[in-house]
Structure 1
Amino acid sequence: MVDVLSTRLQEVYAKWEARTDIPRDQESSSTRFTIDGLRRVGQQIQRRKIQNREVARKIRESSLYKIKESEPILPPFTGKVSFLHYCCKSCTPASRDSLVNTVTKQYKSTYGLNILLVNAGTTLFSKVFYHLSHVYSFEKYNYPRITQTVLNDERLKEAIKLTACDIATNEDCSEEQALQKAKNRAKAILSQMESKISDTLLRMTAWILYKLLPCFIQSAIVLPSQIEMLKKANDSGLPLVLLPLHRSHLDYIMISFITLSNNIRSPLIAAGDNLKIPFFGWLLRGLGAFFIKRRIDPIVGRKDILYRSILHTYIMESLRAGHNIEFFVEGGRTRTGKPCMPKSGILSVIIDAYMDGTIEDAFLVPVAMNYERLVDGNFVREQQGQPKKMETFGSTIRAIWSTLMGNYGIVKIDFCQPFSLREMLKSFQAQQNKIAPTQSPEKPLKYTMSSSSLYGTDVVDEEHRLLVDSIARHVVYDGSTSTPIMSTNIIAFLLLNKFRTGCTLDKLVEAFHAMRQELEWSNKDVAFCGENIDIINHALDILGPGLVKQQRQEITEAVDNQPLKSNFVIAIRPVSILPNVIELSYYSNTMLMYYIMDSIVVTAMYAELKSQMNDPAAIAENNITFHQYRLLEKTLKICDILKYEFIFCKPCQKLEDVIIETIDKLTNIGIITKDVGPLLDEERWCRRRAQDFDNSSDEEYANEIQIKKIKFKLNLNEEHSRKMEFLHVMLRPLVDTYTFSAFTLLKLVSRSLAERELVHEVLDEIKTNLDTGIAQYGESLSVDSIKNSIKLFEKWNVLECYPQENIKIYYLKEPFDNEIAAAEVYDSIAIYRWSKKTN
Structure 2
Amino acid sequence: MLDPSSVSAEHDSDAVSEDHYLNVLDEEEVKGFWEQAGVRGGKDDPCFDIDWDAAGKEVVTHPKVKELCEAAAARGGPRAAVATRQKAAALAGELAASVEMRFAHFTSALARFGFQRLYSGLIFEREQLLSLARLSVRAREEGRSIVYLPSHKSHIDYIVLQFSLWNLGLGAPAIAAGENLNLPVVGGLLRRNGAFYIRRSFSGPDSELYTAVVSAYIEALLRRGANVKFFTEGGRSRSGKLLQPKIGLLGMVLDPVLNGIVENAYIVPVSIYYDGVMETESYVRELLGSKKRKESLIGVLGQGKHLLAMRRSRFGNIHVRFGPGFSARSYIDNHIAVQRAVPNRANFNPVNTIADKQLLLKALAYHVLEEINRVSSVTPTALVGTVLLCTLGRGIGRRSLINKVDWLRGEVVRSGGHMSRFYDFPGELTAEVVDSALTVLGKLVQTFTGLVEPVYCIAPGMHFELSYYRNMCVHVFIHQAIVTAVLHRAVQMHRQDQEQVERADVMSDVRFLSRLLKREFVFSGSATASGSPPKPASGEQWGQDIPLALMRNFESALELLVAEGVVDVCETGSKGGAISLKQYHRAQEMGGYDHWNKHFTFLCSMIWPLIESYWLVLASLLYIFRNGIVIIGEKPAVSHMQSFAKTLVHMGHVQYNEAASEEPLRKALQTYSELGIVRWARRTGNQGEPVVALELEPEYRGAEDDKFRRLVQLADEVASYRRCWREQEGPEEYPDYIARLAFGVSRL
- Please report the TM-score for the alignment, with normalisation by the length of structure 1: 0.74
Q: Is the 8 A contact 1:216 1:405 kept in 2?
A: no
- 1:258-657 pair list within 5 angstroms: 258-298=164-204, 304-378=207-281, 379-391=283-295, 395-403=299-307, 405-406=309-310, 407-435=314-342, 437-440=343-346, 447-448=351-352, 461-499=354-392, 501-522=394-415, 524-527=417-420, 528-529=422-423, 530-544=428-442, 546-554=443-451, 568-575=452-459, 577-578=460-461, 580-613=462-495, 615=496, 618=497, 624-650=499-525, 651=527, 654-657=549-552
1:80 pairs with 2:14? no
Q: Is the 8 A contact 1:368 1:413 kept in 2?
A: yes
Which amino acid is the alignment partner of residue 486 of structure 1? Answer: T
Q: Alignment partner of 1:426: what SS?
A: helix
How far apart are residue 532 of structure 1 and its match? Answer: 0.7
How far apart are residue 202 of structure 1 and its match? Answer: 1.4
| Separation in structure 1 between the aligned mates of residue 30 and residue 664 of structure 2, nearest angstrom | 52
Q: Alignment partner of 2:321: what SS?
A: strand
**Are residues 811 and 401 of structure 1, via their aligned partners in 2, closer, same or farther at CA, if it must alter by over 3 Å?**
farther
- 1:187-202 pair list within 5 angstroms: 187-202=89-104
Q: Alignment partner of 2:269: what SS?
A: strand
How far apart are residue 497 of structure 1 and its match? Answer: 1.3
Which amino acid is the alignment partner of residue 277 of structure 1? Answer: L
**Are residues 444 and 339 of structure 1, via their aligned partners in 2, closer, same or farther at CA, if it must alter by over 3 Å?**
closer
Q: Is the 8 A contact 2:238 2:280 kept in 1?
A: no
| Separation in structure 2 between the aligned mates of residue 543 and residue 808 of structure 1, nearest angstrom | 43
How far apart are residue 668 of structure 1 and its match? Answer: 2.3
Which amino acid is the alignment partner of residue 292 of structure 2? Answer: K
Q: Alignment partner of 1:730: what SS?
A: helix
Which of 284-293 and 825-834 deviates more?
Answer: 825-834
| Separation in structure 2 between the aligned mates of residue 384 and residue 515 of structure 1, nearest angstrom | 29
Q: Is the 8 A contact 1:329 1:344 kept in 2?
A: yes
Partner of 1:755: 634
| Separation in structure 2 between the aligned mates of residue 358 and residue 121 of structure 1, nearest angstrom | 37
Which amino acid is the alignment partner of residue 491 of structure 1? Answer: V
Q: Is the 8 A contact 2:448 2:454 kept in 1?
A: yes
Q: Alignment partner of 1:77: what SS?
A: helix
How far apart are residue 153 of structure 1 and its match? Answer: 0.8
How far apart are residue 198 of structure 1 and its match? Answer: 1.7
Q: Alignment partner of 2:148: what SS?
A: strand
How far apart are residue 218 of structure 1 and its match? Answer: 0.9
How far apart are residue 794 of structure 1 and its match? Answer: 1.4
Partner of 2:50: 143
How far apart are residue 752 of structure 1 and its match? Answer: 3.8
Q: Alignment partner of 2:658: what SS?
A: helix
**Equivalent of 1:155 in 20, 43, 64:** 64
| Separation in structure 2 between the aligned mates of residue 706 and residue 825 of structure 1, nearest angstrom | 25
Q: Alignment partner of 1:408: what SS?
A: coil
| Separation in structure 1 between the aligned mates of residue 382 and residue 247 of structure 2, nearest angstrom | 29
Which amino acid is the alignment partner of residue 432 of structure 2? Answer: D
1:745 pairs with 2:621? yes
Partner of 2:742: none
**Are residues 764 and 320 of structure 1, via their aligned partners in 2, closer, same or farther at CA, if it must alter by over 3 Å?**
same
Which amino acid is the alignment partner of residue 714 of structure 2? Answer: V
Partner of 1:208: 110
Q: Alignment partner of 2:175: what SS?
A: strand
How far apart are residue 293 of structure 1 and its match? Answer: 0.8
- Please report the TM-score for the alignment, with normalisation by the length of structure 2: 0.82
**Are residues 336 and 665 of structure 1, via their aligned partners in 2, closer, same or farther at CA, if it must alter by over 3 Å?**
same
How far apart are residue 521 of structure 1 and its match? Answer: 4.6
**Are residues 261 and 725 of structure 1, via their aligned partners in 2, closer, same or farther at CA, if it must alter by over 3 Å?**
same
| Separation in structure 1 between the aligned mates of residue 690 and residue 435 of structure 2, nearest angstrom | 50
**Are residues 518 and 151 of structure 1, via their aligned partners in 2, closer, same or farther at CA, if it must alter by over 3 Å?**
same
1:117 pairs with 2:117? no
| Separation in structure 2 between the aligned mates of residue 371 and residue 358 of structure 1, nearest angstrom | 39
Q: Is the 8 A contact 2:119 2:318 kept in 1?
A: yes
- 1:668-817 pair list within 5 angstroms: 668-677=563-572, 707=576, 709-716=577-584, 717-718=586-587, 720-749=596-625, 750=628, 751-802=630-681, 809-817=693-701
Partner of 2:124: 222
Q: Alignment partner of 1:626: what SS?
A: strand
| Separation in structure 2 between the aligned mates of residue 223 and residue 785 of structure 1, nearest angstrom | 34
**Are residues 786 and 214 of structure 1, via their aligned partners in 2, closer, same or farther at CA, if it must alter by over 3 Å?**
same
How far apart are residue 656 of structure 1 and its match? Answer: 1.6
Which amino acid is the alignment partner of residue 151 of structure 2? Answer: L
Q: Is the 8 A contact 1:241 1:326 kept in 2?
A: yes
| Separation in structure 2 between the aligned mates of residue 240 and residue 155 of structure 1, nearest angstrom | 24
**Are residues 489 and 394 of structure 1, via their aligned partners in 2, closer, same or farther at CA, if it must alter by over 3 Å?**
closer
**Are residues 134 and 324 of structure 1, via their aligned partners in 2, closer, same or farther at CA, if it must alter by over 3 Å?**
closer
How far apart are residue 753 of structure 1 and its match? Answer: 1.9
RMSD of equivalent CA atoms: 3.0
**Are residues 481 and 720 of structure 1, via their aligned partners in 2, closer, same or farther at CA, if it must alter by over 3 Å?**
farther
Q: Alignment partner of 2:453: what SS?
A: strand
Deviations 1:304-330 (A, max 9, x none): 211111111111111011111111000
Q: Is the 8 A contact 1:82 1:225 kept in 2?
A: no
Partner of 1:658: 553
| Separation in structure 2 between the aligned mates of residue 671 and residue 549 of structure 1, nearest angstrom | 32
Which amino acid is the alignment partner of residue 646 of structure 1? Answer: F
| Separation in structure 1 between the aligned mates of residue 61 and residue 695 of structure 2, nearest angstrom | 47
How far apart are residue 796 of structure 1 and its match? Answer: 1.2
How far apart are residue 525 of structure 1 and its match? Answer: 2.5
Q: Alignment partner of 1:413: what SS?
A: strand
Q: Is the 8 A contact 1:610 1:834 kept in 2?
A: no
Deviations 1:486-540 (A, max 9, x none): 1000000010013552110000111111122333455533111311111101111
Give the gaps of 5 or more residues in structure 1.
1-72, 85-106, 123-132, 169-173, 449-459, 555-567, 680-704
**Are residues 75 and 755 of structure 1, via their aligned partners in 2, closer, same or farther at CA, if it must alter by over 3 Å?**
closer
Structure label with greater radius of gyration: 1
Q: Alignment partner of 1:248: what SS?
A: coil
| Separation in structure 2 between the aligned mates of residue 603 and residue 74 of structure 1, nearest angstrom | 25
Give the gaps of 5 or more residues in structure 2.
32-39, 529-547, 588-594, 684-688, 702-706, 729-748
Deviations 1:767-809 (A, max 9, x none): 1211220111111222221221121111111222257999864
Deviations 1:575-622 (A, max 9, x none): 2x43x2111100111111111111101111122332223x4xx5xxxx
**Once the two structures are aligned, what percentage of the paired residues are identical?**
22
1:245 pairs with 2:159? no
| Separation in structure 2 between the aligned mates of residue 228 and residue 674 of structure 1, nearest angstrom | 44
Partner of 1:125: none
**Are residues 230 and 675 of structure 1, via their aligned partners in 2, closer, same or farther at CA, if it must alter by over 3 Å?**
closer
How far apart are residue 251 of structure 1 and its match? Answer: 1.1
How far apart are residue 654 of structure 1 and its match? Answer: 1.4
How far apart are residue 193 of structure 1 and its match? Answer: 2.0
How far apart are residue 632 of structure 1 and its match? Answer: 0.6
**Are residues 336 and 220 of structure 1, via their aligned partners in 2, closer, same or farther at CA, if it must alter by over 3 Å?**
same
| Separation in structure 2 between the aligned mates of residue 646 and residue 253 of structure 1, nearest angstrom | 27
Partner of 2:545: none
